[in-house]
Amino acid sequence: MSLYVMKFGGSSVGDTERMKRVARRIVEKQDEGHQCVVVVSAMGDTTDDLIDQAKLLNPEPPAREMDMLMTTGEQISMSLLSMAINQLGRSAVSLTGWQAGFRTEPVHGKARITNILPERVLSALKENHIIIVAGFQGMTEDGEITTFGRGGSDTTAVALAAAIEADVCEIYTDVDGIYSTDPRIVKCARKLTEISYDEMLELANLGAAVLHPRAVEYAKHHKVHLVVRSSFNYNEGTAVKEETSVEQGVVVSGIAYDKNVARISILGVEDIPGVLAQVFGTLAEASINVDIIVQSGVQDGKADFSFTTSLSECDHALEVIHGLKAKLPYRDVTSERNLVKVSIVGAGMISHPGVAAQMFDVISKQGVSIKMVSTSEIKTSCVIENANLEQVVKALHTAYNLDTDVQVFVGGPQDRR
């Protein structure tokens, strides 16, 4: 008997019919002789609907109250799925994140897990229950409800799998594995049979929405056997593991993009030691994440530098920088929001020179200017205008020999057993 953690995303439980299909899938797993702990996201567009309702009442709702509101979506899913499983003659018990033992830091909206106390989950397993856990949520030591940020149900599933020493953690979604790029843009994307933790972590951090970055971090740190597969068919999924065999002729494994990008430029800053430390230290104290940083040349003792942050944090970052002007004079500060970051990722890039140069060439042949560049051993990222996203992704996918003859299927009931 193996212990499985099965996570189902919002599209998999988007309505009652899909909820019934998921319930049958879980019962089938139990019939195969396995124990099942299930993590669920909110149904379909529930989270977006809740956010819209909140902003109709208060354009800037308090972070604490948003967490109180957001956690209800997953609780609806867990209760309904438990009811569906019980209707099939099995015993299912639903638990909120805090009932399942998730303890977090006292940060609303993007809390990190500090500890998991899974005794209640383990006790229910001993009684042969199927346990349904609400994803994306936990509780601080002093009893405040928190959430992990969008996509945090992946993190719930992987962290719980590590805590209860599950044999497998399966992430079910509307595509049957991890692809070389977004199959909604490139219909001939290549399905990967396996991918390394490091490559997947880069792709997730760079915008690939199939897995949450913190979930991959947890899986890597705790050596969780992680598989991504479809909830709509029984095809083999993609294994995320420590090391993978390098596929012959494929240097780039995947292409990711992130539309949630803004660029802020600070112009005419004194070129003296400590300037960057002061700016980015202050941004860090305000919990603003910064990605790419570029400093231009110095002229007349003055320097310009730019950095990217998320669209959602752009206004906050500008406020922080305006607040610095008295201590750190500068000529001007500007921002751009119509941007996207496109990235190539692949372990094979380490031993193949010219991969980045090829990316720059492909983008230039699309008539697109590159605004910023960032590189590491296994990735290269370019910031461009978002109007050119699809043509650039398709051109890169072809250039790195990732196109296949198979059309990707996304979502819907197919190949049912």
Q: Which residue has the tokens 């099965």?
A: 6
Q: Is 122 exposed, middle or buried (0-12, 13-18, 19+ CB in 10 A)?
A: middle
The pLDDT tens digits for 158-168 are: 999 999 999 99
Q: Which residue has the tokens 């699309």?
A: 366
CB contact set of 120 (below 8 Å; sequence gap of 6+): 95, 99, 100, 101
Residue 11: phi and psi, rounded to 5, are -70, -30
CB contact set of 82 (below 8 Å; sequence gap of 6+): 92, 93, 94, 132
What integer best gives the mean pLDDT of the chain? 92
Comparing C-alpha atoms, which of 173, 349, 147, 121 is closest to residue 359?
A: 349
Cα–Cα distance for residue pair 79/67, rounded to 1 Å = 19
CB contact set of 164 (below 8 Å; sequence gap of 6+): 3, 5, 37, 118, 121, 122, 125
pLDDT at 249: 54
The pLDDT tens digits for 205-232 are: 888 888 888 899 999 999 999 999 998 8
Tell me the three state secondary structure of residue 183.
coil
Asked whether 111 and 148 are in contact (CB, 8 A), the reply is yes
Cα–Cα distance for residue pair 301/17, rounded to 1 Å = 66
pLDDT at 413: 42
Comparing C-alpha atoms, which of 186, 162, 48, 54 is closest to residue 113?
A: 162
Cα–Cα distance for residue pair 171/366, rounded to 1 Å = 36
Cβ–Cβ contacts within 10 Å for residue 404, how many?
Answer: 16
Q: Could you give the percent of the chain with pLDDT greater than 70?
A: 96
pLDDT at 409: 63
Tell me the three state secondary structure of residue 29.
helix
The pLDDT tens digits for 327-366 are: 888 999 999 999 999 999 998 888 788 999 999 999 999 9
